[in-house]
Structure formats: structure tokens, C-alpha cells
A and B are shown apart, each in its own frame.
Chain A
Amino acid sequence: MQNNYITFDHVTFSYGTQTVLKKISLNLGKGRTYALIGKSGTGKSTLLNLLAGFIKPEGGNITVNGEEISAPRKDIGFLFQDLGLFPWQTVFEAVSMPLKLLGRGEQAKLYVTGILKEMKLENHMDKYPHELSGGERQRTALARTLIAEPELLLMDEPTSALDAMTKEELQGLIIRELKKRRTTLIFVTHDIEEAILMGETILIMGENGAITQIENPYASIENAKEQLDFYEACINLRKQLNVGDQRGKEETL
């Protein structure tokens, strides 16, 4: 595993006079899943937006695969909290758009049909977003992001608007699809259970973006929720989330 696939080197970012991230340094490995949790306003989404190249750090630098991030890149995909599905595109059009943008429009039919089957959307190809359920919309956005085959996928609260059952279904789907593609995942969540179920490493953000990394053995267990100590781990993580500045700590659940 490439341990410094993603590096944050003394990264600082402020909104006006309010410093959100202060000299953050972080190394993350390739092919792993990272859950980013923390209280509101600690800079989780800012960190994700910096990594995506949507915003630039005031100080320090960020690299992915050795190359500095200065703008959005084709090898980095982003699944937005509000999805950003265009109302004028059917499921098929939305999912085939990234291929057309990459100049691979002729492959669209084959690839899109395949991924829509994997996402159980093959019967909804001609539907517009307003005709889909929340879970179907989420799967469409995921398919649209994955079809461009990003090496790194960033997700901002991907399941926050879903009911419990749909959420569980989507969490399983995301992990299966990413493992198959060996995609690195960093996702922001407020859901402790989701962090433990999906994040092989949990990153807790504290004041000024201070980050604690916790190795999480439960993410690799097929039915983590059936383990007796799963909920104990959830309680432990919640306690750690409530502790203040934890810069530099590395722990295991």
C-alpha cells in the first residue's frame, strides 16, 4: 500500500478572519477508506473541497499521487451531499455524461448499461431525477461519479438524506463497488455507525482541523453490526469525538 498517496503538508485555510484549518499535516494510503468525522464547523467539508481542488489553501500544499492539487483533477471524483443531478438529464444521460466529457462517448452505451445494472437502475434509465426515490437518486449520482473511474473518491455526507434501510443498502453498495475498483475513499459523515461500518481508518477532526487517526477493525468485517462489541466501539468513538484537541494521536477502536 502506498502510504503517502495523499499528503497534507502544513495546510492552512481561513474563511475571512476565521481560521478553519491550521497547519494540518496528514498522510493517507492508497486503496483505503477513510471516514472523516467531527463536530460542525471543524472544517471537514473544507478539507474535502481542498482535496478536490475546488478551493486553494492559504498555506502549505496538498498532493495526491505525488502531484500537487491546484485545480480539480480527472482522477478525483466527488459525490456531493445534494448530489447535483441536473433536472434535464435522465438517469442514462446523467451517467453517460462523464464519458462524453472525457471523449469516450462511443463507449457510453456499453459502460452505462453495465454500471446501471450494478446499481439496480436498469429499469429507471429514462427517468428524470424528480421521478426517482431518494435512494435511486443517490445511486444515480454514485454511478455518474464512478463511471469516470476516479482513483480517489470524495463524498460529503453521502447518505445523510436517506432512511435507515436505504442508507444501509447504499453503504454496502458503495463499499462493494469501491473494493472492486480499488478506489480510495474519503467521506465526511455525522453518523458514527456509518463511520465504523465504512471507514477502515477514522479521522476525527477537532479544533482548527486537528486530526486524530483511529484504525477501525470493524470496517473489514462482513457483518460488523452482528459483532457483540460493535456498539461498544460506537460508544467509544462518540466519547473520543467529544474530546477536544487530539492532534497527532493514533489509536485503535
Chain B
Amino acid sequence: MMKDKKITENKLLGFISFLFLWELLHLLLKTHTVPSPVETIAYMLTVPAALATHSCASILRVAASVGISLIVGVPAGILLGIHKTCRRLLSPLLYFLYPIPKIAFLPVFMLLFGLGNASKIILVIFIIIFQIMLSVRDGVDQISALYFRVMDSFCVSALQRYRYLILPAILPQLFTGLRISIGIALASLFFAENYATTYGIGYYILSAWTKMNYTEMFSGILALGFVGILLFQILDRVEMHMVPWLKKEK
């Protein structure tokens, strides 16, 4: 309880320090391009419904992308980790595609999947799925050979091997991959939401930018930050529930 209180205090202190530095920058630069945090927060309080709507649109897109990436990426990552032939065949392709800036394919996706949500979600999936696949593959790699032998000694079926060994063993790496993926997904949406949509926090920020309304733009940036905090907090909670042994180790 005391530890939790301390952590909350530290987070609050970190946020106040950030606002303080922002205010300092605003005072030093003396330009309307960097509005003061007080002004920005005051503006945010005047448009809560708009910010909530745009944030929700982005959160839903991130959730859909992450969900589908998990459904496809986890089994694919396990396959790469377990079957050496699959790894030999697919790893070069994976390494080739992983560093390519997938955002450049947005026009292709729009052409193939239309101007609606599908093309944006598929773009984000295309960006984060490699991260998830590689995290899971590395998680499988790190399972001790001894653990497989322990399972062999109990004469387990393939399904039991996944249920009791592989799936729990890859969870820590999967959560690390998810944390990175959510960050990348939010950053990618900022770009993807600029086309053929009027909803999403990315749209909100760039729309304000084109209007040169910097207070509105910064309120969008701050809202995007809060969306990030919310998603990471949810992920931390889920991780604490699903990987309790790591929490105790720490």
C-alpha cells in the first residue's frame, strides 16, 4: 500500500516537473507556437467532448490493430521459435520487412482496403505485427531446454506443452513487445489519421496545426500523451495479473 502511494507520488512529481519545463520553454521562447501549459490545460477543459471523441476513435483503432496483431503474431512467433525450418525460410523476409517504413504503404492500403478504418487499422497491424512476432520468437528461444525435458518426462501432448510451458514462458517478452507496439501504433496513427477521416487524435492535432491554432494543437498532443498513459496503465495491470511471478521477483 505504502509502495503504491510512493509510486503514485513519483508519477505525479514527474508530471509536474514536465509541466514546469514546458512552462520554462514557453517563457524562454516567447512565441505563440509554444503555448503555456496552463493555457493549454484551460483550453482542454473547454473542449472535453471533442477530445474524448477523438481519443476514443484512436484508442479503438489501436485496440483493433493490437488485437488482430496478437491473434496472428503470437502463433506466427511461436512457429518461428519452434520450427527451425520455418525460421530459416521466413527470418530473412522478416528482417527485410521489419525496418521498412510501412507508413509509406498507406496509399496502397487505401487503394486495397478503402478510405475507411480498415486501411488505417491494417497499416498499424503491418507496422506492429513484426515487433510482436519477434518478441514471441525470442521468448520461445529463451525457454530452457531443461523445461522441455521436464515436460517430456511427464509424457505431455502438444497442446499441454503449449498450455503449461510455451504460453506462460513467452508472456514476459510478449508484454515487452506489446509495450513497444502500443507506442509505435499511437505514433503511426498520428500520420494515418490525416487521410480520409475526421476522427482521431492524429487528425485533431494536424487539423489544429494547419489552422495554426497551437493551443488546440498542444491540447491534442497532451491528450495523445494521456491516451498513452491510459493504455500503458491498462497493459501494466493486465501484466501484473498475468505475470505475477515477475512482479514478485522485482
Interface residue ranges, A against B (CB under 8 Å)? 52, 54, 71-74, 76-78, 80, 82, 84, 86-89, 97-98, 100-101, 128, 130-131, 148
Minimum CB–CB distance from B139 to chain A (whole Å) comes to: 12
Given contacts A54-B149, A86-B165, whether A98 and B248 have CB atoms under 8 Å apart is: no
Q: Which residue of A lies closest to B143 (CB)?
A: A86
Report the Cα distance A84→B169, complex, angstroms.
13
| B160 CB contacts on chain A under 8 angstroms | 101
- Specify which of B152, B154, B248 lies most central, judged by the most chain A CB atoms within 10 Å of its CB: B154
Digit string of B168-192 for contact with A (CB within 8 Å is 1, else 0)? 1101000000000000000000000
Digit string of B141-160 for contact with A (CB within 8 Å is 1, else 0)? 00010110110111110001
- What are 27 of the A-B contact pairs (CB < 8 Å)? A54-B149, A54-B152, A72-B153, A72-B154, A73-B155, A74-B155, A76-B153, A77-B153, A78-B149, A78-B150, A80-B146, A82-B146, A84-B144, A84-B146, A84-B147, A86-B147, A86-B150, A86-B165, A86-B169, A87-B249, A88-B168, A88-B243, A97-B164, A101-B156, A101-B160, A131-B248, A148-B154
Minimum CB–CB distance from B84 to chain A (whole Å) comes to: 19
Structural contact, B149 and A128, CB atoms closer than 8 A: no
| A80 CB contacts on chain B under 8 angstroms | 146, 149-150
Q: Which residue of B lies closest to A86 (CB)?
A: B147
Q: Does B245 contact A (CB under 8 A)?
A: yes
Identify whether the interface residues of A are mostly helix, strand, loop, or mixed. loop
Given contacts A80-B146, A128-B248, A130-B249, whether A88 and B153 have CB atoms under 8 Å apart is: no
| B164 CB contacts on chain A under 8 angstroms | 86, 97, 100-101
| A89 CB contacts on chain B under 8 angstroms | 168
Report the Cα distance A25→B82, complex, angstroms.
37
| A74 CB contacts on chain B under 8 angstroms | 154-155
Report the Cα distance A100→B165, complex, angstroms.
13
Identify whether the interface residues of B are mostly helix, strand, loop, or mixed. helix
Structural contact, B248 and A130, CB atoms closer than 8 A: yes
| A101 CB contacts on chain B under 8 angstroms | 154-156, 160, 164
Residues of B52-74 at the interface with A, using a CB-CB cut-off of 8 Å, are none
Report the Cα distance A195→B154, complex, angstroms.
27
Structural contact, B169 and A88, CB atoms closer than 8 A: yes
Contact of A84 among B150, B156, B171 (CB under 8 A): B150
- Specify which of A78, A87, A97 lies most central, judged by the most chain B CB atoms within 10 Å of its CB: A87
Report the Cα distance A108→B249, complex, angstroms.
27
Structural contact, A87 and B153, CB atoms closer than 8 A: no
| A87 CB contacts on chain B under 8 angstroms | 245, 249
Minimum CB–CB distance from B249 to chain A (whole Å) comes to: 6
| B146 CB contacts on chain A under 8 angstroms | 80, 82, 84
| A98 CB contacts on chain B under 8 angstroms | 154
Additional A-B contact list (12), CB under 8 Å, known A86-B150, A131-B248: A54-B152, A72-B155, A77-B153, A78-B150, A80-B146, A84-B146, A84-B147, A86-B147, A88-B245, A100-B164, A101-B155, A130-B248
Report the Cα distance A22→B144, complex, angstroms.
30
Report the Cα distance A74→B150, complex, angstroms.
12
Report the Cα distance A98→B153, complex, angstroms.
10
Report the Cα distance A82→B243, complex, angstroms.
23
Structural contact, B154 and A86, CB atoms closer than 8 A: no
Structural contact, B150 and A128, CB atoms closer than 8 A: no
| A148 CB contacts on chain B under 8 angstroms | 154
- Specify which of B153, B155, B168 lies most central, judged by the most chain A CB atoms within 10 Å of its CB: B153
